[in-house]
Amino acid sequence: MRINSSLRIIIAFLLTLPLSGICQVAGDIIIKTANPQGWILKTQSSAYQIIVTKEGVVKPVFYGPVEQAEFAQKNARWYEGIEEVPVRGGLPFKTPMLEVVFSDQVRDADLVFTNAEIITVDGRPTLKITQKDRFYPLEVVSFTRILAEFDILEKWTVVKNTGKKGNIKIDNLQSASIVLPVDQYILTHLAGKQKHELQLQETLLTPGLKTIQNKAFKANFNPPWFLVRPQSADASTGPAYFGSLHYSGNWVLNFDRSYDGNLQILGGINFWDTAWNLKPGTTFETPKFSVGFTQNGSEGAAQSLSAYVRKTILPTTHRNDLRPILYNSWFATTYNVNEQQQLELAKIAKEIGIETFVLDDGWFKNRTDVNSGLGDWEPDKKEFPSGLPAFIKKINDMGMQFGIWVEPENVTVNSDLYRAHPNWAINFPNRQGDANRKILNLAREDVYQYLLKSLSKLLKENNISFVKWDQNKYLSEPGWPEAPAEQQREMRIRHVANLYRLVDELKKQFPQVWFESCASGSGRIDLGMLSRMDQAWASDNSNAIDRIFIHYGYLSLLPANTLVSWVTHEDPHQPTSLEYKFDVSMNGVMGIGYDITKWSDAEKEIAKRKIAEYKTVRPLVQQGTVYRLVSPMTSNRSALQYVNEDASSAVLMSYNLGAYMGGSQLYVRNTPNVIKLQGLKNDQQYKVQKLGDTQNQTAIYKGDFLMNVGMSWPVYGANKSQIVLIKAVN
């Protein structure tokens, strides 16, 4: 539904008038209602309403446009069948978010409202609703934290065994379940494989269950994110719901559409082959599930989520800092690393304007190929005869910071670590699995302590400013033979908890170090990881054209200051010019992964110029709002625009993916000849200037003109690109 802006203002004003039975608390954000007892949680554009029935059942009754909150309040009998915490128990016509087994083997839960409080969690109003089982010692607390300006609700659940004896076995506990009003919905999500990450998928949700999930620790390049819009809504400008999970282990998102048209969405830890034994007096807390609503379609959803991540999720240590321009050695030297060769790369890196030199894989002892040395986190003396600290000093003396690659969670069978502790790897006896590489069992305290000690030592003894934290293995044979039987299926959850503990502890000890998440590319870019890592490596596919598609998917859920993109010589197909590669790597955090010792002087000059250009637009790219103006999915062109907070500067990045005449409406892929900008001020004059234009031509246009009439497409010819600066002038 689209409502024009004056009507929205009137409705917003009407909503401020007292409604019968409504008194306002926590500002305008959480409104307590009477008759039925309940709450309306408001963000800028959305209202989420919960009631407690006469029988004490807690039910969500509305989630949608804030303008409809009053109507929803009057019609609060919707969704009769689904509770705020749907459980296994009663008639099985919903997807449960809580499935437990009590010690007498009763497998049905039956929750009743106990009390509710409005509290503040990290400065944000939060509704806390407590329920308990009508008979058994189980308490269930649901939290909804409101981030009104981002139109986001963070939802999570804590369960407690309040009994004195007997475990409660948790077969399944999701972070939250939400219910959308009756409609036909289209789901958008991402899927991919290595080097083909983050490809957008769309499907109509027909009655039944649609699941997207991760069962192997490393997601299949499908981050835990979704976008759902009514089929009748405009994809890029209409209402849409979206969400993202804060979890890096096995996760699941379920979309259960009833025949009557309600859509239930659940998300959280994937309890497939997993169970948790809740001992008396203990609690289990789920990760957060952030859900949102926007009136501005996929772009509104992407902008809300990105701003939310950039301003509230990324680690505070570097949240507001500009990300340095990186050099990374991987494609240049893979496992064959030595000091001399790295210094040669570093010398050129410095010359062209690189700020952080990252030594990727191959630097530690026993690491001769992919199947050796993992786990032995000691610098290789043969490769660095005068020691790693002395090598790093040379890099620092050149004026660059130094970064290093690690893959702490994994071990190769050919390593000192595995030879000493074969049982530290996750394994099943009598099952061979991968003969070369294993995942370490971080559920074990000794493994945790080993990794903490060796990584702290590495960071303490060396002036390391940046860590690329990789994970390249899918989980199989998920056994923990030494653990008591009742703990064996807890391994995955305990492993992830200790992974988080390890990163958190290292960050506490070394607060200035930057962290980059990598899992063979963007295999782990959930909000759990992104609350600990400053940025992420998007793909080992660095072909510039392919990257345009990967970046388009990436920017659906994460901000550009986390998107690391290198210029490399990797051109599996569609070779592009060096300028074009640089222009694509400007989409996020620029890096270079070339063997730059092979560059000619002319190529070095291009690199110098492009890096200097990137430095001028970096604050806009990394801290501005991104508008994906032209999609490479539907066009043979692509355009991104970044606008700063007060709309005084913007940068347009335009790319041709091929060259066709265009003009016929029968062409499947369109060729826009005019580009309309967004996010500018209507009455403001802007100077428009193509970066790198040797004639330094500029033109002045009003924001209104640039947005509603548009400017000519800035570049012609196959695989050509143009960066355009737009600056407010008086």
Residue ranges binding ligand DGJ (CB under 6 A)? 330, 360-361, 405, 470, 472, 518, 520-521, 537, 540
- Residue with Cβ nearer ligand DGJ (172 or 329): 329
> For residues 424 and 450, what is the distance between their CA atoms, to the nearest angstrom?
10
Q: Tell me whether residue 405 or residue 418 sits nearer to ligand DGJ (CB atom).
A: 405
In the chain, the amino acid numbered 304 is S
Answer yes or no: are the C-beta atoms of 725 and 617 closer than 8 Å. Answer: yes
- Least separation in angstroms between residue 331's CB and ligand DGJ is 8
CA nearest neighbour of 483 among 410, 424, 396: 424
What whole-number distance in Å separates Cα of residue 460 and Cα of residue 609? Answer: 36
What whole-number distance in Å separates Cα of residue 411 and Cα of residue 451?
Answer: 11
Cβ 371 to ligand DGJ shortest distance, Å? 11
The answer to whether 198 and 223 are in contact (CB under 8 A) is: yes
Q: Which is nearer to ligand DGJ, 362 or 479 (CB)?
A: 362
Q: In what order do the strands lie in the sheet with 263-269?
A: 176-180, 263-269, 251-257, 208-213
**Contact in structure between 118 and 97 (CB atoms under 8 Å):** no
Q: With respect to ligand DGJ, which residue has the nearer C-beta, 49 or 522?
A: 522
Task: Please report how close the Cβ of residue 497 comes to ligand DGJ at its closest, in angstroms.
Answer: 25
Cβ proximity of 495 and 542 under 8 Å: no
Residue with smaller CB distance to ligand DGJ, 178 or 439:
439
First to last CA, the chain: 38
Residue with smaller CB distance to ligand DGJ, 257 or 524: 524
Residue number with CB closer to ligand DGJ (540 or 546): 540
Smallest gap from residue 562 Cβ to ligand DGJ (A): 16
Shortest spacing between CB 335 and ligand DGJ, in angstroms: 8
Closer by beta carbon to ligand DGJ, 366 or else 488 = 366
User: Looking at beta carbons only, is 521 or 588 nearer to ligand DGJ?
Assistant: 521
Which of 479, 521 has the CB closer to ligand DGJ?
Answer: 521
Q: How far is CA 17 from CA 47, 70, 171, in A?
A: 16, 11, 46
Give least dist CB 468 to ligand DGJ, A: 6
Nearer to ligand DGJ, 360 or 380 (CB): 360
Least distance to ligand DGJ, CB of residue 194, Å: 8
Question: Residue 328 in 3-state DSSP?
Answer: strand
What are the Cα distances from residue 433, in Å, to 424, 442, 480, 583?
A: 15, 18, 14, 43
CB of 540 to ligand DGJ, least distance (A): 5
Residue 411 Cβ vs ligand DGJ, minimum distance, rounded to whole Å: 14
Is the bond preceding residue 632 a cis peptide, omega within 30 degrees? Answer: no
Query: Measured from the CB of residue 464, what is the shortest distance to ligand DGJ in angstroms?
Result: 16
Distance separating alpha carbons of residues 663 and 330, to the nearest angstrom: 43
Choose between 326 and 442: whose C-beta lies nearer to ligand DGJ: 326
DSSP 53: -
Nearest distance from C-beta of residue 416 to ligand DGJ, angstroms: 19
Backbone CA torsion sign across 612, 614, 617, 618: negative
Q: What are phi and psi of 8, to 5 degrees?
A: -60, -40
Shortest distance (Å) from residue 223 CB to ligand DGJ: 16
Decide whether 264 or 472 has the Cβ nearer to ligand DGJ.
472
- The distance of closest approach from Cβ of residue 473 to ligand DGJ in the complex, given in angstroms and rounded to an integer, is 11
User: 373-376, long-range: CB within 8 Å, 24+ apart, which pairs?
Assistant: 373/412, 373/414, 373/415, 374/407, 374/410, 374/411, 374/412, 374/415, 374/417, 374/437, 375/410, 375/411, 375/412, 375/415, 375/416, 375/417, 375/418, 375/440, 376/415, 376/416, 376/417
Point out the residue whose Cβ comes nearest to ligand DGJ.
361
- Helices then strands (H, E): number in the chain? 14, 40
Quick check: 586 and 617 in contact, CB under 8 A? yes
